[in-house]
Amino acid sequence: MSNVLVELSNAMAGAAEKAGASTVLVNARRRMPASGIAFAADLVLTANHVIEQEEGITVILSDGAEVPAKLAGRDPGSDLAVLRLEKALAKPAETSSEAKIGALVLALGRPSREGIEVSLGVISAVGGPVRTAHGSIDRFIRTDTTPFPGFSGGPLVDAEGRVIGLNTSGFGRGVGLTLPADYAWKVADQLTKHGSVQRGYLGIRSQGVELSAAVQKLLKREQAAGLLVVSVEEKSPAEVGGMIVGDILAGIDGQSVEDHDGLFARLSGDAVGKSLPVEILRGGQPQTLKIKIGARA
């Protein structure tokens, strides 16, 4: 018997099977195991909060093989961690950055040796950026899938079996969130290279101030606010670059900075180590300083 319902069902099972091949079990805590997603033959992305030990971590692949793994990096801010497998036997997941509200999705996990587990739902919301207990995340996806025990670190999968995000319940209050694949993969890349997520560092304290129409005219753009520098740390990148108390920070690298969220966005990991033009207002006059962005410890 075949009809559209049977075809849809087969497609969903096919999607689960395809993504399931890259969904692994992560054994790094005493309680129940959690899940992870292979993003290279020897690299697994998982949720940071399920890594409760750094020794004796193992990963179980879709074919049942148990492979020892080492922690390559972790970032509590985004609740992501990368494990490096001793043997490059994993099958990397195919990803997609498309996340539309209402789309059919499957949440996958591999909480036991018995195989994958699946929950069906739709994308309920796409939001962000949002501050978390230890940092911030750029973007998140909400779904009405059921996060079964051991699902943290597992993938959110579209109807074609592509990974569109990583599910975690690590942000507290029992709320499940999905970190979008493009964001999570970017963090994974940094964790693989540096062992942690680098965040840019200027070394100033600042507060938001309104910019007058006259000042906006001098800036040659509409910008309602900037950041008034109220202290500059000694020997910080800002001090070395010539910034002083009383300056108003208006832009970095050609992009305007109106508030603290905007400043954080400009000071992403990509900015670390680069000398960037920093636009300030000093005595009401626009000036540009060259500041070499440091790395936050």
Partner 1 sequence: MNLSGLLNSALDELLGRIRPVLAVVMDKRRGAGAGILMGNGLVLTNAHVAGRGRSLQVVLANDETYPAKLVASDKNVDLALLEIPANGHVAAVFSEETPRPGEMVFAFGHPWGQRNVLTGGVLSAVTSLRGRQGEIPVLRADVQLAPGNSGGPLLNAAGEVIGLNAMIFGGDQSVAIPAGVIREFMETALKSVPVRAAEGVL
Residue 170 binds partner 1 (CB under 8 A)? no
Q: What are phi and psi of 39, to 5 degrees?
A: -115, 0
Buried/exposed code over 18-39 (b: 16+ C-beta within 10 A; e: otherwise)? bbbbbbbbbbbeeeebbbbbbb
Judged by CB under 8 A, which of 91, 92, 103, 112 binds partner 1?
A: 112
Query: Which candidate in 79, 119, 158, 169 is catalytic?
Result: 79
Between 12 and 263, name the residue whose CB sits nearer to partner 1: 12
Q: Which residues in the 239-278 window bind partner 1 by CB under 8 A? A: none
- Judged by CB under 8 A, the residue of 9, 212, 275, 287 near partner 1 is 9
Q: Site residues for partner 1, window 46-75 (CB under 8 A)?
A: none
Which of 17, 98, 160, 233 contacts partner 1 by CB under 8 A?
A: 17
Q: How far is the CB of 72 from partner 1 (least distance, A)?
A: 29
Task: Respond yes or no: is residue 152 known to be catalytic.
Answer: yes
Q: Measured from the CB of residue 184, what is the shortest distance to partner 1 in angstroms?
A: 22
Q: 176 and 168 in contact (C-beta within 8 Å)?
A: yes
By CB under 8 A, tell whether 14 contacts partner 1. yes
Q: What is the CA radius of gyration of the chain?
A: 23
Contacts 24+ apart (CB under 8 A), 99-105: 99/123, 99/126, 99/141, 99/164, 99/165, 99/180, 101/125, 101/126, 103/158, 103/159, 104/12, 104/158, 104/159, 105/143, 105/145, 105/156, 105/157, 105/158, 105/159, 105/164
Q: Would you call 270 a catalytic residue per the annotation?
A: no
| Residue 182 C-beta: closest distance to partner 1, Å | 24
**Closest distance of CB 153 from partner 1, Å:** 17
Question: Taking Cα atoms as reference points, which of 136, 104, 113 lies closest to residue 13?
Answer: 104
Task: Say whether 134 is catalytic.
Answer: no
Q: Which of 90, 54, 92 is nearest to 72 (CA)?
A: 54
The answer to whether 21 contacts partner 1 (rule: CB under 8 A) is: no
Please identify, using beta-carbon distances, which residue of 3 and 285 lies nearer to partner 1.
Answer: 3
Q: What token pair was written down for 206?
A: 């600042």
Instruction: Give the binding site for partner 1 (CB under 8 A).
Output: 1-6, 8-10, 12-17, 20, 106, 112, 114-120, 146, 148
Report, as residue numbers or ranges, the catalytic residues: 49, 79, 152
